[in-house]
Structure 1
Amino acid sequence: MSLNPDPDTADRLLAAQAAADVKGRSLWKDARQRFMRNRAAVAGLVALVLICIFAFFGGFLAQYEPDYVDFSLIGANASQGVPSFETGHYFGTDSSGRDLYARTVQGTRISLLVGIVGAGVAVIVGTLYGAIAGYTGGRTDGAMMRSVDILMSVPYMFVLILMLVIFGRSILMLFIGIGLISWLDMSRIARGQTLTIKGKEFVEAAVATGVRPMTIILRHIVPNLLGLVIVYATLLVPQMIITESFISFLGLGIQEPNTSLGALISNGASNMQYGVIWQLAFPLFFFVITLFAFFFVGDGLRDALDPKDR
Structure 2
Amino acid sequence: MKLAQRDAVLLEETMGLAEIRGRSLWADARGRFIRNKAAVAGLVVLVLVALFAFFGQVLAQYEPQHVDFSLMGANAWRGVPSLETGHYFGVDSDGRDLFARTVQGTRISLLVGIVGALVAVVVGTLYGAVAGYVGGRTDQVMMRTVDILMSIPFMFVLILMLVIFGRSIFMLFLGIGLISWLDMSRIARGQTLSIKNKEFVEAAVATGVRPFTIILRHVVPNLAGIVIVYSTLLVPQMIIFESFISYLGLGVQEPMTSLGALINQGASQMNNGTLWMMGFPLFFFLITLFAFFFVGDGLRDALDPKDR
CA contact (8 A) 2:75 2:91 kept: no
Helix, strand or coil at the partner of 1:135: helix
Partner residue of 2:280? 282
- Superposed CA offset, 1:182-202 (max 9, x none): 000000000000000001000
Instruction: Look up the match of 2:291.
Output: 293
Q: Secondary structure at the match of 1:88?
A: coil
Q: Would you say the 8 A contact 1:231–1:298 is kept in 2? A: yes
- Which residue in the other structure is 2:244 paired with? 246
Matched, 1:18 2:14: yes
Q: Distance in 2 between matches of 1:264 and 1:35?
A: 34
Aligned to 1:141: 139
Answering whether residue 149 of structure 2 is matched by residue 151 of structure 1, we say yes
Query: In 1, distance between residues paired with 2:66 and 2:145?
Result: 48
Deviation at 1:73, TM superposition (A): 0.7
Question: C-alpha displacement at 1:22, in angstroms?
Answer: 2.5
> CA deviation digits over 1:25-63, x for unaligned, max 9?
111111000000000000000000000000000000000
Provide the C-alpha distance between the structure 2 equivalents of 1:114 and 1:225, rounded to a whole number of angstroms: 24
| Partner deviation per Cα, 1:100-137 (whole Å, 9 max, x = no partner) | 00000000000000000000000000000000000000
| Equivalent in 209, 212, 215 of residue 211 of structure 1 | 209
How big is the shift at 1:16? 12
Match of 2:180 among 176, 179, 182: 182
1:75 counterpart SS class: coil
CA–CA separation in structure 2 for the residues paired with 1:102 and 1:78: 19
**Cα offsets for 1:50-86 (capped at 9, x unmatched):** 0000000000000000000000111245542000000
Provide the TM-score with structure 2 as the length reference: 0.94
Shift of 1:266: 0.2
Residue in structure 2 matched with residue 47 of structure 1 by the alignment: 45
Contact kept? 1:78, 1:96, Cα under 8 Å: no
For 1:259, the aligned partner's letter is T
Query: How much does 1:180 deviate?
Result: 0.1
SS at match of 2:88: coil
Secondary structure of the residue that 1:148 maps to in structure 2?
Answer: helix
Measure how far apart 1:15 and its partner are: 8.2
8 A contact 2:201–2:218 mirrored in 1: yes
Q: Deviations over 1:269-292 (max 9, x none)?
A: 000011101001000000000000
Identity between Structure 1 and Structure 2 (%): 80
Residue identity matched to 1:231 = V
C-alpha displacement of 1:215: 0.4
Partner Cα distance (2:270, 2:55) in 1: 29
Structure 1 segment 125-140 matched on structure 2, within 5 A: 125-140=123-138
The equivalent of 1:57 in structure 2 is: 55
Letter in 2 for 1:54: F
SS at match of 1:258: coil
Give structure 2 stretches of 5+ with no counterpart. Answer: 1-6
Are 1:269 and 2:267 counterparts? yes
The answer to whether the Cα contact below 8 Å between 1:148 and 1:184 also exists between their aligned partners in 2 is yes
1:21, distance to aligned residue in structure 2 (A):
6.8
Q: Deviations over 1:253-309 (max 9, x none)?
A: 000000000000000000001110100100000000000000000000000000112
Q: Distance in 1 between matches of 2:154 and 2:17?
A: 55
Partner of 1:168: 166
- 2:231 and 2:77 map into 1 onto residues whose CA distance is 41
Distance 1:15 1:139, change over 3 A: farther
Contact 1:268–1:277, Cα closer than 8 Å, also in 2: yes
Query: Could you tell which deviates more after superposition, 231-240 or 70-79?
Result: 70-79
One-letter amino acid of the structure 2 residue matched with residue 36 of structure 1: I
- What is the alpha-carbon distance in structure 2 between the residues aligned to residue 213 and residue 188 of structure 1? 20
What amino acid is the match of 1:117? V
Counterpart amino acid of residue 235 in structure 1: L
Q: What's the TM-score once normalised by structure 1's chain length?
A: 0.94
Contact 2:76 2:272 in 1 (8 A): no
Identify which of 86, 102, 110 aligns with 1:88: 86
Are 1:248 and 1:263, in contact at CA under 8 Å, matched by a contact in 2? Answer: yes
Residue 22 of structure 1 aligns with an amino acid whose one-letter code is: A
Counterpart residue number, 1:259: 257
C-alpha distance in 1 between matches for 2:271 and 2:248: 19
Tell me the equivalent position of 1:36.
34
**1:66/1:205 CA distance change after superposition, 3 Å:** same
1:201 paired residue among 199, 202, 206: 199
Q: Which runs of 5+ in 1 are unaligned?
A: 1-10
